Amino acid sequence: MPGAAAMPERPERLHNWFGLVFAFRLDAAGGSAAVGWPEVTAACCGAAAGATPGDTEHRPLWVHLDLRHPHALHWLKQESGLDELTVDALTATNAGPRLVRRGDSLLLVLKGIDHGSSARPGDMLAARLWTDGRLLISAQHGRVGAIEDLHRELRHGRGPGAIDALIADLADRLMTHADDVLDDLLEAARRIGQAGNRRRRTEDMVSELATLRRGMIRMRFHLLPQRRALVRVATGRISWFGDAPRRAVREVADRCQHAIDGLGAAGEITEITQDEILQRSSETTEHRLFSLTVITAIFLPLTFITGLLGVNLAGIPDANDPLAFLILCLLLVGIVLGQLWLLRRKGWL
């Protein structure tokens, strides 16, 4: 049984202990105490029975689950005490940012950047949260960098001391990771624009820009509802949510709006860059075609003259003159020079 063992109090890394990545009792000083499955189940049963902070351990509890492990899914459905709709929302594979409030409990889904090796630009993973102010249950289908950073801060005694501060801190870290990725996307678009001045295949540069634009569209698609959810958290009347965390969440919502505006501007920049690359490519092609046209125009009369004099018929003038070939070459050179002078005068060269 998973509950028969004791979870290490201070793991050096994120363990996947039968689906329990970590569970911490928070203290007001920013520290934490690790607990295992038995304490987690007892705390959840107490919360489901309507226990007050004085009935059980009074310190807030944060439980973080890895939904890729079957035991985490079983525990949520059978032992967590949460209703079916909440469990479905916590375990949904494709969950978008949203906020569902039932009394003083919150179901909050936020998006964070996917740092996996197979992640595409702009891919985001969902951090699913349920809390009633005393107990926080979070779940994920993959690694979220913001949660790992917050876990590290709690282990070193520098984390938040309450659930409301923890939510505000997590939202801020998720947004910080999104800001970093946005900066990377903008820098990549700038590098591609500069590379357009060098000899690179137009198809490759346009393909890279299209990949960046798709990533920006995906990020914007997730950040729009995330901002609405954060605004609802900041403006909602939740008894256990303090004023300072509320202001912090509002600040994150403003940053989220700034990122949305930045993604829109970045999309326009990539579109302009793509237009410039295509324009340069079109100008290069037109210049090459023009050069070929000029060469053809120059050699057309020369070809006509040499073809006319090369027919195998009697009566070719000066056919037996030893200076005829030299005179013909000089004539052809004169025709070429005359054509070049005429083209230069008309401004075509």
Amino acid (1-letter code) at residue 302: L
Is a pLDDT exceeding 70 seen at residue 47? no
Distance CA 299, CA 295 (A): 6
Instruction: Say what the pLDDT of residue 16 is.
Output: 52
* CATH number of the domain to which 32 belongs: 3.30.460.20
Q: Specify whether 128 is located in the same domain as 81.
A: yes
Distance CA 223, CA 236 (A): 20
Strand, helix or coil for residue 63: strand
Instruction: Say what the pLDDT of residue 175 is.
Output: 85
Q: Which of 279, 297, 319 is the last residue of a domain?
A: 279
Q: Specify whether 99 is located in the same domain as 156.
A: yes
DSSP 94-108: S--SEEEEETTEEEE
Is a pLDDT exceeding 80 seen at residue 340? yes
Q: Which residue has the higher pLDDT, 213 or 234?
A: 234
Q: Specify whether 168 is located in the same domain as 199.
A: yes
Q: Specify whether 293 is located in the same domain as 271.
A: no
Q: Specify whether 228 is located in the same domain as 88.
A: yes
Distance CA 162, CA 56 (A): 16
Q: Specify whether 252 is located in the same domain as 316.
A: no
Question: What would the pLDDT profile of 271-290 be if each residue is shown by its tens digit?
Answer: 888 888 788 778 888 888 88
List of E strands, 77-210? 98-102, 105-113, 124-131, 135-140
Q: Specify whether 296 is located in the same domain as 212.
A: no
Is a pLDDT exceeding 50 seen at residue 55? no
Q: Which two tokens stand for residue 49?
A: 């029975």
Q: Specify whether 270 is located in the same domain as 313.
A: no
- C-alpha distance from residue 347 to each of 102, 286, 295, 334, 335 (Å): 77, 16, 16, 20, 18
Is a pLDDT exceeding 50 seen at residue 154? yes
Question: What would the pLDDT profile of 89-126 be if each residue is shown by its tens digit?
Answer: 899 888 889 999 988 899 999 987 765 544 565 678 88
Q: Which of 240, 258, 279 is the last residue of a domain?
A: 279
Q: Specify whether 246 is located in the same domain as 303.
A: no
The angle that helices 163-195 and 145-155 make with each other, rounded to 10 degrees, is 130
Q: Specify whether 292 is located in the same domain as 244.
A: no
Q: Which two tokens stand for residue 149?
A: 């950073």
Question: What would the pLDDT profile of 192-211 be if each residue is shown by its tens digit?
Answer: 767 655 556 777 778 888 88
Average pLDDT, the chain: 80
Question: What would the pLDDT profile of 116-129 be if each residue is shown by its tens digit?
Answer: 544 565 678 888 99
Residue 326 belongs to domain spanning: 288-345
Q: Specify whether 202 is located in the same domain as 334.
A: no
Instruction: Say what the pLDDT of residue 114 is.
Output: 60
Is a pLDDT exceeding 80 seen at residue 48? no
> What percent of the chain lies above the pLDDT cut of 70?
84
Region 245-249: what's the mean pLDDT? 95
For residue 148, the Cα-to-chain-centroid distance in whole angstroms is: 19
* CATH number of the domain to which 316 belongs: 1.20.58
Other CB atoms within 10 A of residue 283 CB: 10
Q: Which residue has the higher pLDDT, 164 or 310?
A: 164
Other CB atoms within 10 A of residue 76 CB: 24
Q: How many domains, the chain?
A: 2
Task: With beta carbons less than 8 A apart as the criterion, state whether 203 and 280 touch.
Answer: no
Region 220-243: what's the mean pLDDT? 92
Q: Specify whether 275 is located in the same domain as 296.
A: no
Contacts of 160 (CB under 8 A, 6+ apart): 26, 30, 166, 168, 169
- C-alpha distance from residue 193 to each of 185, 187, 211, 213, 281 (Å): 12, 10, 14, 14, 13
SS (H, E, C) 252-296: HHHHHHHHHHHHHHHHHHHHHHHHHHHHHHHHHHHHHHHHHHHHH
